[in-house]
A and B are shown apart, each in its own frame.
Chain A
Amino acid sequence: MTDTKKQLRIALRNCGLIDPEQIEDYIAQDGYFALGKCLTELTPEIVIEEIKSSGLRGRGGGGFPTGLKWEITKNVKNEQKYVVCNADEGDPGAFMDRSILEGDPHSVLEAMAICGYCIGANTGIIYIRAEYPLAIARLKTAIKQAEEYGLIGDNIFDSGFNFKIEMRYGAGAFVCGEETALIHSMEGLRGEPTVKPPFPSVSGYMKKPTNVNNVETFASVPVIINKGASWFNKIGTEKSKGTKVFALAGKINNVGLVEVPMGTTLREVIYEIGGGIMNGKEFKSVQTGGPSGGCLTKDFLDTPIDYDNLIAAGSMMGSGGMIVMDEDDCMVSIAKFYLEFTLEESCGKCNPCRIGNKRLHEILTKITEGNGTVDDIERLKVLSNVIKDTSLCGLGQSSPNPVLSTIANFGDEYLAHVKDGKCPAGQCKSLLRYDIVEDLCTGCTLCFRNCPVGAITGERRLPHFIDQSLCIKCGVCFEKCKFDAITLT
């Protein structure tokens, strides 16, 4: 592993450093100093200006400028407003928010209070999935400790500002990460999205102006106040400032959480921080943005990571899942895997998402089972674009991305499946074929004795045969044969 200090930890600054269940530990790292500074020295306008000029954008994936969102919510006139923290992290393989909440819960509470001060809200609500019991427990402890010190509650820092924080538990539905669905779930309704506008900033929780930000976005806020927008906006690229946390997973040596300045290349993350591909295999693709993102080829490895570059490359930043695939991964199967996830998680409210994704999945299944045609590839593209254009919320609008990006970047693999009846990665079982080479077979009967379905026949000391109609492509014969007499094509 090369140790090059490519990482810069801002959102994760205290994770692994402090005891998350001791508020004093957080205070010793200048915790709540930013809240103190805002309440005793700065007006909401100045704080919002600072966040705006820092260039901080939403870390949940949308990339909407955080300061602008705060300003919009502030400018809506209403006596009751809400700050909501979106902790409904649901991308497969992503755990950035969980780590922040488990390792540094106070950073999120502090930022929510700062946000409340700016927009004029006296209540903050954390929407977190019930599958994160440790994060929930630590948040509860943190809220209790902050209340005991008076850092949350009435008349904080003698400023007259009151702020309380509550929690709501989600049942783990992916769609509830979408802010309108999240708000409905908080209200006790079905977690289904509704059309925007009205945006939550205007009419959100209980029809009141509501500012929804992601965990990682909040975690970055106190640092911006303490160190200044001009410190923060020097980090990153022209349009994407600061750092981003990625959950590095898949066929990579150093699975874990990394936080890098925007503009770091995928190659640096995968090879220098991630330690390269497992077992010395060849890199094939990297998937960013979870089920809404795309699969990028090695041609994109030198792309500097930021919101705009990833979109231009056909993927997206997303919340920070980064899954690395090697030569053994079949890209058609990968697209199918993500579709399975979307199918399961689609709320079913709008037709394009509910029915369209089902049809996409059927076509992909057909291709991986060896029954696909060249026309099916075209059909996938057309249907994908229809789903993107006509779905109600972000889930449906982005669900075909894995399909479109794998067709665009790995079109050859689709063609190999439908034209040649082959799966180049050797993953699609229906497309595999095991044969016994007569000249090499000694008739030892080892394969015959090990075949679980009795697909192999033959006399002792004479060449054996595989009945293709019975073979389940389990590969046991291939592994057992001592004479390399079985071929896999």
Chain B
Amino acid sequence: MTKIKSPADLKRIKNEVLLRNGLLENSNKSEQVIQIKVGMATCGIASGAKEIMKYFIEECDQLAVDANIKQTGCLGYCYAEPMVEVTVPGAEPKVFGYVDNKKVQEIIEKYIIQGEKVEGEIPISFRTIND
């Protein structure tokens, strides 16, 4: 692996990631994919997040939904685990709590494919360092 030797190297990697995720101005918007993040800290895994993630991958495959499904840490809403955050290109990220297999199907079929509202959304109640 190429060593990072300067802040410029870091910026290059940062831009590569942002470009890949369609988050830069010159990113090709049509290539943006749906981002699905599954909370996989101890709290999430204990509530069944591993199975949820597996099921998301299977269902997206079956329904031919092109999505980037990945694990992430804990958002802090331990009471509502397992939690997933779904970002459809052009829309604000949505966080769903108490996710089970039925909810996974609902999220994919109703929210992602048809753009309908799905119950069980958790409002994001924090500011970030960039706000």
Binding site for B on A (CB under 8 A): 1, 3-10, 12-22, 24-25, 27-28, 30, 32-33, 36-37, 40, 95, 98-99, 102-104, 132, 134-135, 148-151, 157-158, 223, 227, 253-259, 273
Contacts and interface: CB of A to CB of B under 8 A. Distances in A.
B14 interface: yes
B4 interface: yes
Interface in B15-30: 16-18, 21
B90 interface: no
Given A151-B4, A256-B79, 11 more contacts: A5-B127, A17-B72, A17-B73, A18-B73, A24-B16, A27-B10, A27-B13, A30-B14, A32-B10, A36-B10, A258-B76
28 contacts: A3-B124, A3-B125, A7-B125, A8-B129, A9-B128, A13-B128, A13-B129, A16-B39, A20-B71, A20-B72, A20-B73, A22-B70, A24-B13, A28-B21, A32-B10, A33-B7, A33-B10, A95-B43, A99-B73, A103-B73, A134-B41, A148-B1, A149-B2, A157-B6, A254-B77, A256-B77, A256-B78, A257-B76
B74 A103 contact: yes
Q: Mostly helix, strand, loop or mixed at chain A's interface?
A: loop
Contact of A134 (B2, B3, B10, B42): B42
A249 B3 CA distance: 43
B6 A103 contact: no
B128 A259 contact: no
Contacts of A135: 42
A104 B128 CA distance: 15
A6 B42 contact: no
Nearest to B2: A149
Contact of A21 (B21, B71, B79, B125): B71
B3 A149 contact: yes
B22 to A, nearest CB: 12
Interface string B102-131: 000000000000000000000111111101
A28 B14 contact: yes
Nearest to B122: A1
B76 A19 contact: no
Contacts of A103: 41, 72-74
A151 B3 CA distance: 8
A103 B78 CA distance: 13
B74 A16 contact: yes
B94 interface: no
